[in-house]
């Protein structure tokens, strides 16, 4: 129900709810005028198609994505993702973004949908609260005046040596292929996370958490 509470305080319009009696009792006082269906936990689990424990499903409307330039205009700390196609990893990135004070998340056109159910759940609902949009070219970050740091195992400087600047962006890529040459070219610096010999890379959400923690305010 934590995710639904994030939804209630977001800009996404809540359309309807399907809840158990227990969930309804917990949420009733917080809800706007919205259609609510009450069902057993077994029926909700059957409808959802996965093992369901919280007793509440919500349907909400999407809203148009802002232009990248508009989103970045007032941002000071940005996380960008290229080619991240695992919903759990993407949800983890948004949860990290919320934890470390990221103002906006910028996604390239090949990154998966952050509003997919699993991504929302893994983010603990923070994908509904952290502003995001897409851009065909991550070079828009540099055009907007950001110091852009690409996180890559082949980076020529350790992340701990990167100083925090007034406007900064961190680019991360998918596990395996990593960042493309186009994304690397859009960065001012290429940073790596020092690791023990024999370990080539970290999970993208874990790597992003380390970098964001190093650079957060």
What are the tokens at 147? 């110091």
Domain identity same for 35 and 81:
no
What are the tokens at 150? 């690409």
Angle at which helices 87-99 and 204-215 pack, to 10 degrees? 10
Q: Specify the pLDDT at position 217.
A: 66
Q: Specify the pLDDT at position 199.
A: 83
Domain identity same for 79 and 144:
yes
Domain identity same for 184 and 83:
yes
Q: Which domain holds residue 106?
A: 68-215
Question: Would you say the C-alpha torsion 64, 70, 76, 77 has a positive or negative sign?
Answer: positive
How would you class 152 by CB atoms within 10 Å of its CB: exposed for 0-12, middle for 13-18, buried for 19 or more? buried
Residues 6+ apart with CB under 8 A from 131: 66, 71, 103, 104, 105
Domain identity same for 106 and 53:
no
Domain identity same for 10 and 106:
no
Domain identity same for 159 and 107:
yes
Domain identity same for 26 and 113:
no
Look up the CATH number of the domain holding residue 74: 3.40.1280.10
Domain identity same for 37 and 95:
no
Q: Residue-wise pLDDT tens for the chain (217 aa)?
A: 789 999 999 999 999 999 999 989 988 888 888 999 999 988 888 887 776 557 888 999 999 999 999 999 999 999 999 999 999 999 999 999 999 999 999 999 999 999 999 999 999 999 999 999 999 999 999 999 999 999 999 999 999 999 999 999 999 999 877 899 999 999 999 999 999 988 878 899 999 999 999 998 6
Q: Measure the CA–CA gap between 61 and 63, rounded to whole angstroms.
A: 7
Domain identity same for 117 and 201:
yes
The total domain count for the chain is 2
Domain identity same for 9 and 104:
no
Which of 37, 60, 83 terminates a domain? The answer is 60
Between β-strands 157-158 and 56-60, what pairing exists: parallel, antiparallel or unpaired?
A: unpaired
Domain identity same for 55 and 129:
no
What are the tokens at 70? 């508009």
Q: Which 3-state string (H, E, C) describes the chain?
A: CHHHHHHHCCCCCEEEEEECHHHHHHHHHHCCCCEEEECCHHHHHHHHCCCCCCCEEEEECCCCCCCHHHHHHCCCEEEEEECCCCHHHHHHHHHHHHHCCCCEEEECCCCCCCCCHHHHHHCCCHHHCCCEEECCCCCHHHHCCCEEEEECCCCCEEHHHCCCCCCEEEEEECCCCCCCHHHHHCCCEEEECCCCCCCCCCCHHHHHHHHHHHHCC
Q: Measure the CA–CA gap between 70 and 1, rounded to whole angstroms.
A: 32
Domain identity same for 89 and 186:
yes
What are the tokens at 113? 């949908």
């Amino acid at each position: 129900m934590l995710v639904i509470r994030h939804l209630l305080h977001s800009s996404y319009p809540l359309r309807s709810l399907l809840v158990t009696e227990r969930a309804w009792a917990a949420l009733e006082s917080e809800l706007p005028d919205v259609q609510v269906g009450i069902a057993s936990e077994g029926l909700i689990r059957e409808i959802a198609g996965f093992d369901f424990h919280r007793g509440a499903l919500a349907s909400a409307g999407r809203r148009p994505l802002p232009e990248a330039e508009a989103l970045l205009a007032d941002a000071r700390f940005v996380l960008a993702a290229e080619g991240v196609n695992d919903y759990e990893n993407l949800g983890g990135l948004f949860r990290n973004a919320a934890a470390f004070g990221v103002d906006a998340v910028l996604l390239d056109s090949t990154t998966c949908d952050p509003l997919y159910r699993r991504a929302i759940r893994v983010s603990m609902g923070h994908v509904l609260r952290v502003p995001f949009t897409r851009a065909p070219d991550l070079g828009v970050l540099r055009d907007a005046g950001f110091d852009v740091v690409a996180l890559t195992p082949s980076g020529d400087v350790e992340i701990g040596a990167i100083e925090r600047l007034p406007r900064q962006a961190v680019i991360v890529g998918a596990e395996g292929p990593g960042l493309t040459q186009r994304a690397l070219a859009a960065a001012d610096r290429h940073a790596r996370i020092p690791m023990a010999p024999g370990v080539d890379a970290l999970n993208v959400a874990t790597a992003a958490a380390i970098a964001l923690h190093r650079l957060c305010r």
